[in-house]
Chain A
Amino acid sequence: MTATPAAAANGGGPRNTGAPTGLAAMKVSKVGDRVFLGLSSGAAWLIMVVLAGVAIFLLIQAAPAIGANWQQNAALQDRTSGFTLGFANFWDYVSPLLFGTIWASFLALLLGAPVAIGIALFISHYAPRRVSGILGYLVDLLAAVPSVVFGLWGIVVIRPFLGPLNEFLNSYFGWIPLFSGDVAKGGSTLLAGAVVLAVMILPIITSISREIFLQTPSLHEEAALALGATRWEMIRLAVFPYARSGIISSVLLGLGRALGETMAIAMIVSPKLIFSVQLLTNDNPATIAANIANKFGGANQTQADALIATGLLLFVVSFAVNLVARWIVGRTSTGPRRRRIPTRKAA
């Protein structure tokens, strides 16, 4: 409460430089303030330490496996668990996994993002208030479902459900490489995995874009409507331009979730170390996270290091995705976006 005038006195300047003077002005005498400052900055530092710790752990564990000559390494050519057998080096092993991870996540986004944004729009601009409240709550609830449960759902429901569709796509559209090949009779296809993954990334995309849509200045919306725009035109002219960066960042956060998803993919998809874009067969590229879940149990120490090295690569990819998301949000979050609407109206 008492901090509000101080913050206002800072004139909304950058917080890091503003805070000490603001607090000094308030004479930090209250114990509660000090404790809270300590706790919150402690938490902030802790997360940095944890992140750095994870990165260092991954690097230390991964280094020997990345640097090793795989063909000469007895532990990596060990037959008893066998999964690193016959690979020339780390990159030989990880490249199909990397491809699989990105390909599966891309498919999930392709299927999930439009639906998620549609749900968000419906909640924010179409549904009656009561319906939107319930719907929003339900979508958020999806985020609380454990991925093992999604995996079981995928095995029991989605795989048989997609069976007829697989046959249809394969027999009529088999000339498209995506739908070619021998249809997996059990349904352990990448398509099934991508559908479940799409459902799993719905809540994060929906809840973030919903919040952004709701923040559209109502003046913009009313102005669009007043100029004779239909509701769809209003959304196109006022809401989407305003929310563009928000949508992109929500989609990229969804991508982050899809990249790291493990259990559901490990349970549903029949994984191989191959480059393949076929969606309907048993021959699907494995993802890094699911591959770790599958192989870690049987791995010897060096093989475990190799798996950790693939994890490091996943860490780097997720990090890059998040950085790109931040960059896009930062680039378009202020200024120009608001001015664009009037210019379009004028034209």
Chain B
Amino acid sequence: MKITRSGSIAAFALIGTLALAGCAATGGTNTPSATPTSKVGLNAIDPSLTGTITAAGSSAQVAAQTGYSAAFASVATGVTLNYNPEGSGGGRKDFIAGALDFAGSDAPLSADEATQATATFPGGALDIPVYLDGVAIAYNNKDASSLNLSAATLAKIFSGKITDWSDPAIAADNGGKALAAKKITVVTRSDSSGTMQNLTNFLGGEAASDWAAGPNLGTLPQIPGMDLQKGGAAVATEIAAVDGAIGGVDHSALGSLVAASVEGVKLSNDGIAEAMATGFAIKPNSTPGDLSGGFDYAKIKADTKAYPIPLVSYAIIPAQFKDAAKKKLVVAYLEFIASADGQKAGATKANSAELPDAILKQVVATLATVK
């Protein structure tokens, strides 16, 4: 797995050299005046950096990390990123155990985990937002070429209270037009996932009365007939194969599947960026400079252009590295991710949104404090 990954990184690095050389040339001239955040960009990477960054965690981040690292390695050719997409929880666990340079995670460290991390890293750990995307509600029903679902209807579908496509609640969300009777098959992950955590955050935040299970759940509660598949890719494949299926998947894993509008907002990168700009609030943990945060779903609901189920994914790093060379390398890499060039490289590869400037500025400020 790792060998292939580094191989593909090398391959992308080659492509990245060609493709992004152009971006750097044009972006570089505009940088000082137009976009203050890209003071650190492709042109600011130190080409003499060498070494391997070992990271693991969120599978939602894989494509973006491939994009970031390929662009980064196009300048600093001696740098390799080994990113193992073992899942957000696994990434946090391995990070706390001291096995990683950074963890990729769809959720920040919990209070408990942050305390555990201080045992390994005396200065504590920092959650740094690096990736913005959304959770798509993918469905397979040929009767509905487009579909809109409200938060309450989604909560009822995922908790097994609505079991048929002809349900009046679905018709009500779609201008009263009822669909033909067909059984709904809810497809979800059999392993824990950050995607489901973000989905349940939304359900718990916006449809609390219909979603008894509450927010922040890595696995959806079992309901009869629920179809569980291992991994996000298998969920997407299963939805494509099963007539009447519906489920939450990463936006970047959507592929050819059709995504429903949620609360009347179509899934788009602009909609996701809008939700980030309106609804994201930083609620730091005890480590100074921490940038973990959460969404205020009421604010997102009020904004008619914001896609209601955004997903922010973090890189979790120690506030105080034990190894100065490693610190230099990881901070340089994350600074690049926090630049306009970096965000573009990841978003192009993952087909995702880009983090807004306001957040990127804070990321750069926090990275400057890392020791």
Contacts and interface: CB of A to CB of B under 8 A. Distances in A.
A80 B229 CA distance: 19
A168 to B, nearest CB: 18
A289 to B, nearest CB: 13
Contacts of B116: 301
Nearest to A304: B93
A299 to B, nearest CB: 6
Given A282-B227, A297-B90, A83 B218 contact: yes
A326 B191 CA distance: 37
Contacts of B183: 182
Contacts of A80: 89, 107, 110, 192, 197, 216-218
* Residue with the greatest number of chain B CB neighbours at <10 A, chosen from A78, A270, A274, A295: A270
The binding surface of chain B is classed by DSSP as loop
A294 B190 CA distance: 6
B217 A79 contact: yes
Contact of A185 (B88, B216, B243): B243
Contacts of B179: none
Interface in A113-150: none
Interface stretch (B123-131, B234-242, B279-287, B295-303): B234-242
A270 B226 CA distance: 8
B244 interface: yes
A231 B87 CA distance: 58
B120 interface: no
Contacts of B215: 79
B225 interface: yes
A217 interface: no
Nearest to B88: A298
A79 B225 contact: no
Interface size on A, as a range, is 35 or more
A267 interface: yes
A81 B219 CA distance: 6
B266 to A, nearest CB: 27
A195 B152 CA distance: 40
Contacts of A271: 190, 228
A188 B229 contact: yes
Interface string A270-297: 1111100000011100000000011111
B86 A82 contact: no
A102 interface: no
A95 interface: no
B192 A82 contact: yes
A257 B87 CA distance: 28
A282 B191 contact: no
B214 interface: yes
A300 B93 contact: yes
A282 B192 contact: no
B218 A298 contact: yes
Contacts of B86: 297
B79 interface: no
A143 to B, nearest CB: 24
Contacts of A293: 230
B193 interface: yes
A291 to B, nearest CB: 9
A25 interface: no
A74 B219 contact: no
Contacts of B229: 188, 270
A328 interface: no
Contacts of A295: 191-192
A184 interface: yes
A186 interface: yes
A325 interface: no
B107 A272 contact: no
Interface string B105-121: 00100101100100000
Nearest to A83: B219
Contacts of B272: none
Interface in B143-195: 183, 185, 187, 190-193
A266 B225 contact: no
Contacts of A83: 192, 218-219
B219 A82 contact: yes
A229 interface: no
A110 B362 CA distance: 62
A75 interface: yes
Nearest to B113: A300
Nearest to B85: A297
Interface string A69-110: 000001100111111010000000000000000000000000
A281 B225 contact: yes
B222 A294 contact: no
B89 A274 contact: no
Contact of B90 (A267, A272, A274, A298): A298
A186 B90 contact: no
Interface in A237-294: 266-267, 270-274, 281-283, 293-294
A182 B70 CA distance: 47
B245 interface: yes
Nearest to B183: A182
A270 B216 contact: no
Contact of B191 (A155, A272, A283, A297): A297
A82 B93 contact: no
B227 A184 contact: yes
Contacts of B87: 297-298
Interface in B81-95: 86-90, 93
Interface of B: 86-90, 93, 107, 110, 112-113, 116, 183, 185, 187, 190-193, 197, 214-219, 222, 224-230, 234, 238, 241-245
20 contacts: A78-B110, A79-B215, A81-B192, A81-B218, A82-B219, A182-B183, A185-B245, A186-B245, A188-B228, A267-B230, A271-B190, A272-B228, A281-B225, A282-B227, A282-B228, A294-B230, A297-B86, A297-B90, A298-B87, A300-B93
Top 10 A-B pairs, shortest CB-CB distance: A298-B192, A298-B89, A81-B192, A297-B87, A297-B90, A81-B218, A82-B219, A82-B218, A270-B228, A186-B242
Interface of A: 74-75, 78-83, 85, 155, 182, 184-186, 188, 266-267, 270-274, 281-283, 293-301, 304
Given A272-B222, A300-B93, 14 more contacts: A80-B192, A81-B89, A81-B192, A155-B234, A182-B183, A186-B227, A188-B227, A266-B190, A282-B227, A297-B191, A298-B89, A299-B89, A299-B90, A300-B113
